[in-house]
Amino acid sequence: MICSWKHMSKKIIAGALLGTMLVLLGCSKNNGFEAPLSLEDLEDQNTPMNRGFVYTCNKTGNFEVWKHEGGTNTQITDNSANDAWWPRYCSSTNKILYYRSRSGRDINDFANAELWTMDADGSNQELLLTVEGQGWDKQGLADWSPDGSSIILSAVDPSIGTWQLYQCDADGKNVQRISNRDDVHFLDPVFSPDGTSIYYISCPEGKENIDQNFEVFHLKLEDGEEERLTFNDHADHHPHPSPDGTTIAYESLIDPNYLAIGKWVIHTLDLESYTETVLLDDDNINLFPRYSVEGDRIYYSTLSVETFGMKVASYDLESGESTLVIDDYYNALNVDPF
């Protein structure tokens, strides 16, 4: 069953975090984080934290796309009738993909999601794909090819009934299905750094189509050849490759019973040795990892188990330290660095 965040355990989080919009209380500790840097700190320091990223935040009352650059956070969508979410930045074209759905709904409203694009400053808004226009039941999880010429996403065609992978041009034209197994879900697609293949989540052949069986896969776009990359007994999601293509980061549900929510940690997989490593396992729920452009750190969304507030954090791969880079009263998630 694909829920609002694609996992049953995340439905609980979505209800607490996104449905009721809990008033966040001050927390007594940072659960392993270095002290958060204020915007003044970021402006004064030549630090890796002072890099660019886009994210989703509900500071205005509904969810909008924001951009952090040069130590400043700027709101770049403004539509109180709609939520804007899942921003994805293409550095090659300075374009941003995002989804739009009516405000007040679940932020990941896949059944009513519209795929939009805009310039990096929020101008030149353009509608690319609607669910109705494609004859789908749901759509989501879009991402750019490295050169910005192509888009990959997941969607549900009612004649198939499962999430499948689709590719289209940057203007939303020439939509084509690229996955080829009808009986299982295909989720969380992302291009390889050279744009010739994609990483995604699916179930191995012969396995039941349930969350616990979700593994990381690799598919070559030229011939459609699939390769299973992870072999474990927990649900994996949201793979993202390092810029040099040697490693993948992804989130894993290692304990479905943790605090009645589920314990999500961030793993990495070495693509030469196929060694799986626990990168980040603390008291919080850690989701949506994305490598920095430089490859020296991973940005991610973290849900505090004390406040149920979602924040944006950065993990330094050399020091092993995490720092909150968006840490205020409001919820922030779906970070994408550029």
Q: In which band, very low, low, confident or very high, does the pLDDT at 70 lie, cut at 50, 70 and 90?
A: confident
Using H for helix, E for strand and C for coil, what is the string for 263-298? EEEEEEEECCCCCEEEEECCCCEEEEEEECCCCCEE
Q: Can you say whether the dihedral through the CA atoms of 200, 205, 209, 211 is positive or negative?
A: negative
Query: What per-residue confidence (pLDDT) applies to 28?
Result: 30
Taking only the tens place, the pLDDT of each residue in 73-83 is 999 999 999 99
Contacting residues for 11 by C-beta, under 8 A, at least 6 apart? 3, 4, 5
In single-letter form, the type of residue at position 164 comes to: Q
CB atoms within 10 A of CB 45: 12
Do the beta carbons of residue 201 and residue 215 sit within 8 Å?
yes
pTM listed for this prediction: 0.87
Taking only the tens place, the pLDDT of each residue in 116-145 is 999 999 999 999 999 999 999 999 999 999
Closest by CA position to 215, among listed 180, 184, 241: 184
CATH of domain 8-337: 2.120.10.30
Which whole-number Å values give the CA distances from 125 to 55, 61, 111, 147, in the listed order?
A: 17, 21, 21, 20
